[in-house]
Amino acid sequence: MSNRRLVIAGTGSGVGKTTLTIGLMAALRQAGYRVQGFKCGPDYIDPTYHTAVTERTSRNIDSWMLEHDMVREIVARTSEDADISIMEGVMGFFDGKNPLTNEGTTAEISLITNSPVLLVVNCASMARSAAAIVKGFQQFLPEANIVGVIANRVGSEGHYKLVKAAIEQECHIPVVGYLKRNDDLTIPERHLGLIPSIERGELTPFFEQLGKLVHDTIDIEKVYELALAPKIEINDPIFTKPSVPQVKIAVARDAAFNFYYEENFELLKAYGAELVEFSPLKGETVPQDADGLYIGGGFPEEFAETLAQQIDVKNSVRAAIQKGIPTLAECGGFMFLTDAIVTTDDTCHEMVGLIPGQVRMQTKLAALGYREVTGKPGNFLFKGDIRAKGHEFHYSTFHSEKEFSPAYDTKGMRGMKEEGYMNNNLIAGYTHFHFGSSTEMVENWVEQCKAVKKERRDAV
């Protein structure tokens, strides 16, 4: 296993951390290293860039949603054959769930994994002040191992030398390089249309250009040297795979539905599920022999017209759920199962029609944040009075004139609320779950699939 890993942390949002992280990954690849990517926090978009650049599946690590032993295991297990792991932080180094603690922060991830930190500083219009920023980060949490700095958005090489001299004199750590201020150097198609662009290789020239820019002004070999870290020891591994799957769960996965944590899939497999992917956008229907159904989040609103025309797909989804196969639909999947999605231009697109009501898109954010979740009585995922963790992030609201049974009680920063929709073996809502927060959810799901499968077999 590689003992080189590095947390790329920003001093705050807007420092260009994501672009620089991708550039570092590209430059390391160009130098011949095998790079494993990680993303701190509940982010589905950035890991897709990591995956495209490194040609290895990037992983989410979240110290609030997951037990710390699980975070360590994810990092150790997936880095085994990599030369170096690059762990992109979330927001600023000390920004997380609670402004009064380091809970859920990139700083906490660095401590949990005992990983050195490379601090990215926006140095536009400053010189010696950059040293004050770095020293403040060093003193705020002395046990965090900040080993170096990258100066981002400098005006010139001369400007960089001023920043470098100040930081190295006052903070006693190396400044390993810089990127110039360049408004054109931004990630294209950051939001919508991301998956198709990456799958078609359209971003490859951008990655190559970004890697070369990083290689020209950042000491890649020094970065590799600074990444040396102690080995992560794993005592009781959680991710094991049985030799014979017991149930088959169909997973909707394409450009419209792609918000999944890779560890969710691996936990399902570890508890006895075989996963079979199908693409609603391509007209692929739910496999006839599926024992369960998983429809994740994504951008169904961007493909609402195409989805509305997939009559066979909608019929197959409706038939499978009405047949009773245990189903989880998260956010975009929840939207797909409603009567209709109304886009911002006020066009109504007919969806599956199993959840009575419409989803209406809006231009402002409707919900954002972590959620602590308990299930309503009858929710098969939450048998045994368990709790789980997840998050919400959506620009739509759900409207229904009919009474229905909510699926969850969720707790966020603004208090408790009822959330989602439940009907027999259908559980749906805006909440995105990380199954690592409650592996009992996975066990309950697989057991429910086995029970329904047995009932169907006995009825024949």
Dihedral, CA of residue 245, residue 62, residue 29 and residue 151, to nearest 10: 170
Coil/strand/helix, residue 308 = helix
Residues 304 and 173 both lie in one domain: no
pLDDT score of 63: 95
Asked if 123 is an active-site residue, the reply is no
256 in the same domain as 178: no
Amino acid at 425: N
Report if residue 237 sits inside a domain.
no
DSSP string, 262-303: HHHHHHHHHTTEEEEEE-TTTTPPPPTT-SEEEE-EE-GGGG
Does residue 287 belong to any structural domain of this protein? yes
Rounded to an integer, what distance in angstroms lies between the CA atom of residue 51 and that of residue 57? 5
* 78 and 116 both lie in a single domain: yes
Residue 37 lies in a domain: yes
Supply the CATH number for residue 177's domain.
3.40.50.300
Single-letter amino acid, residue 161: K
Residues 282 and 191 in one domain: no
Is 427 contained in some domain? yes
My answer on whether 98 and 139 are in the same domain is yes
pLDDT tens for the chain, 460 residues long, are 568 999 999 998 776 888 899 999 999 999 999 999 999 999 898 999 999 999 999 999 999 999 999 999 999 999 999 999 999 999 999 999 888 999 999 999 999 999 999 999 999 999 999 999 999 999 999 999 999 999 999 999 999 999 999 999 999 999 999 999 876 666 765 455 566 666 667 888 889 999 999 999 999 999 999 999 999 988 888 887 666 899 999 999 999 999 999 999 999 999 999 999 999 999 999 999 999 999 999 999 999 999 999 999 999 999 999 999 999 999 999 999 999 999 999 999 999 999 999 999 999 999 999 999 999 999 999 999 899 999 999 999 999 999 999 999 999 988 999 999 999 999 999 999 999 999 999 999 999 999 999 888 887 6
| pTM beyond 0.75 | yes
Which one of 171, 331, 348, 449 is the catalytic residue? 331
Same domain, 159 and 52: yes
**Neighbouring C-beta atoms of residue 63, cutoff 10 Å:** 25
Q: Is residue 255 located within the same domain as residue 313?
A: yes
User: Residue 431: which residues within 8 A CB-CB, separation 6 or more?
Assistant: 330, 331, 371, 373, 390, 391, 392, 408, 410, 419, 420
**Residue 382 and residue 388 in contact, taking contact as beta carbons nearer than 8 Å:** yes
What is the domain-level CATH number for residue 411? Answer: 3.40.50.880
Tell me how far apart the alpha carbons of residues 67 and 198 are, in angstroms, rounded to a whole number: 32
- 165 and 42 in one domain? yes
Instruction: Let me know if residue 240 belongs to a domain.
Output: no
Residue 282, domain member (yes or no): yes
Q: Are residues 113 and 213 in the same domain?
A: yes
**DSSP H or E segment with residue 178:** strand 175-180
- Tell me how many domains the chain contains: 2
Round to whole Å and give the CA distance between 233 and 252: 35
CA 128 to chain centre: 36
Verify that 215 and 258 share a domain, yes or no: no
- 239 in a domain, yes or no? no
Q: How large is the C-alpha radius of gyration of the chain?
A: 23
**Do both 144 and 260 map to the same domain?**
no
Phi, psi of 383 (to 5 degrees): -60, 140
In a domain, 192, yes or no: yes
Same domain, 196 and 249: no
Its domain, for residue 271, covers: 245-457
CB 182 within 8 A of CB 156: no
